[in-house]
């Protein structure tokens, strides 16, 4: 966030003490803020927020206020159609801070953090950086309307089989062994692409179609799970039960019938019930859950700790698994109060002889903390993202306990050059990189500065923004790859861009880029991209391959179609080879040869048949999978013998 971006923001200060209010105004003015409104108490602030147009972007609020205090103001704000990011300006001890943050989370308020009085410039800038990072995905108010998806559209999707389960692996923490998966529904929408649950579940629920969706996911998952078992992949399968289903007296027998029809072992199926659903487990609901347990199903209390009577539910329902909610996993490393809650929950699970699972694990620090606490099973992006059914067997075959040890150990040491023209973003990303402790971090604000740095030092990794004022980061990449700088041919390169444009991903294949990050990038995304870039097998092509490659199109002899980058459809496509086999992207391996061309959803050529796949090309295809015409790639098992070049 540079000064011009700060100038566009609209700030509101809610502070009853005139001196403190004036101090905040002065601080905001010094960093470049131009739009500042002030309120002396919560009621005045609420009236301004309700009437303001355009709305406030960032609210700086004290908690101890007359007429309406800060806590009441936060509660009332939950009903606003547009929410500002919130910074608390108050002296809070750790317990009070965690309590206020928990309240804000319950109301789904976008709280950035807190500042002590008097506030500091550096702390304010850090929090504004979080505002910038979260601007694209602010939480929706708790009482906001459900997503605007019509009932007929959902019903048609259910009828046509557009809703499919994706599967996220669950790993035993002691051994690193894959022991199960959770089925997570996705909507393969014909016009909007692959949609995550957040884009449609609220609408499915509001239109009364959740039961229909539950039966589809349960049936498909059982059928898929049985094929895995027949192949020797004996994994447990977790499926979520909806709250509306639990009270139906016929539920248990219907579930037994659906799962048994596909031959899937009942004892390998775990039914997940949210804590809020368990709270309503009375009469028929308790009967259903008990009957399912008697038939051999596992029962999991999902999102444990987010409700109000979790302990009571553990005594009423015969659960076999306790899942720690990801909101606790995310904050436990930093907050002692949350860490104590997680540790106590795991202790309860052990004493009740329940399996414990932590979901949402994203960092090595979270893994190590939970493992030390004695958690049994881990699930989260650190291990793997949810994947289509056809990709899972290949993923499991490649996975072994050492995979996780490599990911949780420190990455190889490497000197990094960061190229970013915006001062604030350059400082923010540089600090994130230094926190990863991978090696020396140098920065440059332009292609010219980057070339100067490359003259005097060697960097194993270059991270560059695409938009560098008058220059392009792609031009810097071309200069490095074509050996026109002192940088070594094996230098790894990661692109940063705030534009999710198809052409950028396509050009990353032509330029042999080792990673692509959409801005704003989190610390986890940055670390994941760097680890992949440093560990993927990579051999640069001869310099001549890159010399004719501009930021607009690949060379004529490139396996990429130049027509892609000129936005004209490919006229012909090499026919599929009859001996090729179709694989999911996750099943591809370096050295395989394309037996059929890869096209995007507009039928434009991305890679021609006959091209030998490399690790970096496979990774780029994974990153652009949502742009591909087909989810499967037709390949030969291995590359044909190559004649040496002369």
Note whether 310 and 301 are within 8 A (CB). yes
Place of tokens 């016009």: 191
DSSP 3-state assignment of 149? coil
**DSSP run (H or E) holding 506:** helix 502-510
Secondary structure (H, E, C), 415-461:
CEEEECCCHHHHHHHHHHHHHHCCCCEEEECCHHHHHHHHHHCCCCE
CA distance between the termini of the chain: 51
Which one is catalytic: 15, 359, 362, 420? 359
Say if residues 447 and 478 touch (Cβ distance below 8 Å).
no
**230 sits in which H/E element:** helix 210-230
Total residues belonging to the chain: 646
For the record, the structure tokens of 437 come out as 């402790």
- Per DSSP, 292 falls in state H
Active site annotation includes 359: yes
In the block, tokens 């970013």 appear at 420
Query: Residue 492's closest CA among 586, 404, 589, 415?
Result: 415
* Number of Cβ atoms within 10 Å of the Cβ of 158: 17
Q: Are 313 and 275 in contact (CB under 8 A)?
A: yes
Backbone angles phi, psi at 385, to 5 degrees: -80, 160
Taking the CA atoms of 308, 311, 313 and 319 in sequence, report the sign of the dihedral they define: positive
Cβ–Cβ under 8 Å, residues 460 and 441: no
Whole-number Å distance between alpha carbons of 397 and 402: 13
Q: Does residue 11 contact residue 54 with C-beta atoms inside 8 Å?
A: no
Taking the C-alpha atoms of residue 128 and residue 425, their distance in angstroms, rounded to an integer, is: 11
**SS3 at position 61:** strand
Q: Residue 7: enclosing H or E segment and its boundaries?
A: helix 3-8
User: Which residues have CB under 8 Å from 220's CB, separation 6+?
Assistant: 164, 165
- The residues near 302 (Cβ < 8 Å, ≥ 6 apart) are 240, 272, 273, 274, 275, 323, 325
Helix H, strand E, coil C: the string for 266-320 is HHHEEEEEEHHHHHCCCCHHHHHHHHHHHCCCEEEEEEECCCCCHHHHHHHCCCC
Q: Determine what percent of the chain falls in helix, strand and coil, rounding each to the nearest 5.
A: 45, 20, 40
The neighbouring-strand residues paired with 444 are: 419
Catalytic residues: 359
């Amino acid at each position: 966030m540079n000064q011009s971006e700060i100038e566009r923001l609209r700030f509101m200060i809610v502070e009853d003490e005139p001196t403190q209010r004036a101090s905040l105004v002065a601080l905001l003015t010094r960093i470049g803020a131009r739009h500042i409104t002030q309120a002396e108490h919560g009621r005045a602030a609420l009236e301004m927020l309700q009437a303001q147009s355009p709305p406030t972007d960032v609210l700086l609020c004290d908690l101890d206020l007359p007429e309406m205090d800060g806590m009441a103001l936060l509660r009332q704000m939950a009903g606003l159609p547009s929410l500002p990011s919130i910074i608390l300006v108050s002296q809070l001890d750790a317990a009070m801070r965690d309590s206020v943050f928990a309240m804000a989370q319950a109301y789904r308020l976008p709280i950035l953090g807190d500042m002590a009085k008097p506030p500091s410039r550096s702390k304010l800038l850090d929090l504004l950086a979080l505002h910038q990072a979260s601007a694209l995905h602010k939480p929706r108010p708790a009482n906001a309307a459900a997503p605007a998806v019509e009932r007929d559209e959902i019903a048609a999707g259910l009828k046509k089989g557009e809703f499919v389960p994706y599967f996220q692996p669950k790993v035993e923490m002691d051994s690193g062994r894959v022991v199960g998966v959770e089925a997570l529904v996705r909507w393969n929408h014909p016009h909007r692409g692959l949609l995550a649950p957040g884009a449609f579940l609220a609408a499915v629920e509001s239109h009364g179609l959740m039961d229909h969706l539950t039966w589809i996911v349960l049936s498909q998952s059982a059928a898929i799970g049985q094929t895995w078992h027949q192949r020797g992949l004996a994994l447990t399968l977790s499926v979520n039960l909806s709250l509306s289903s639990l009270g139906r007296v016929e539920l248990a027998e219907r579930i037994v019938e659906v799962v048994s029809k596909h031959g899937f072992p009942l004892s390998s199926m775990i039914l997940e019930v949210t804590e809020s659903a368990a709270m309503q487990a009375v009469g028929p609901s308790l009967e259903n859950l008990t009957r399912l347990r008697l038939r051999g199903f596992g029962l999991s209390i999902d999102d444990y700790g987010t409700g109000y009577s979790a302990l009571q539910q553990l005594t009423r329902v015969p659960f076999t698994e306790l899942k720690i909610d990801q909101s606790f996993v995310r904050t436990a490393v930093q907050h002692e109060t949350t860490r104590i809650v997680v540790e106590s929950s795991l202790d309860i699970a052990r004493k009740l002889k329940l399996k414990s699972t932590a979901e949402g694990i994203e960092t090595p620090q979270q893994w190590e903390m939970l493992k030390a606490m004695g958690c049994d099973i881990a699930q989260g992006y650190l291990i793997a993202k949810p994947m289509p059914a056809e990709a899972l067997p290949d993923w499991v075959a490649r996975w072994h306990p050492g995979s996780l040890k490599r990911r949780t150990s420190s990455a190889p040491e490497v000197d990094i050059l960061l190229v970013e023209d915006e001062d604030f973003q350059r400082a923010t990303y540089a600090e994130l990189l230094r926190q990863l402790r991978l090696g020396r971090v140098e920065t440059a604000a332009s292609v010219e500065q980057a070339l100067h740095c490359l003259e005097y030092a060697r960097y194993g990794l270059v991270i560059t923004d695409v938009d560098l004022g008058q220059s392009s980061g792609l031009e810097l990449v071309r200069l490095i790859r074509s050996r026109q700088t002192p940088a070594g041919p094996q230098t790894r390169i990661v692109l940063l861009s705030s534009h999710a444009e198809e052409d950028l991903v396509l050009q990353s294949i032509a330029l042999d880029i080792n990673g692509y990050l959409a801005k704003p990038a989190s610390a986890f995304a940055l670390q994941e991209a760097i680890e992949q870039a440093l560990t993927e097998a990579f051999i640069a092509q001869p310099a001549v391959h890159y010399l004719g490659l501009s930021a607009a199109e690949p060379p004529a002899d490139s396996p990429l179609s130049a027509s892609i980058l000129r936005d004209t459809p490919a006229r012909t496509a090499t026919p599929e080879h009859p001996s090729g086999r179709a694989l999911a992207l996750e099943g591809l391996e370096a050295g395989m040869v394309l037996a059929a061309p890869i096209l995007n959803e507009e039928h434009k050529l991305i890679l021609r048949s006959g091209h030998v796949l490399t690790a970096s090309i496979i990774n780029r295809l994974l990153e652009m999978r949502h742009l591909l015409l087909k989810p499967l790639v037709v390949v030969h098992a291995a590359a044909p013998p190559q004649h040496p070049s002369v």
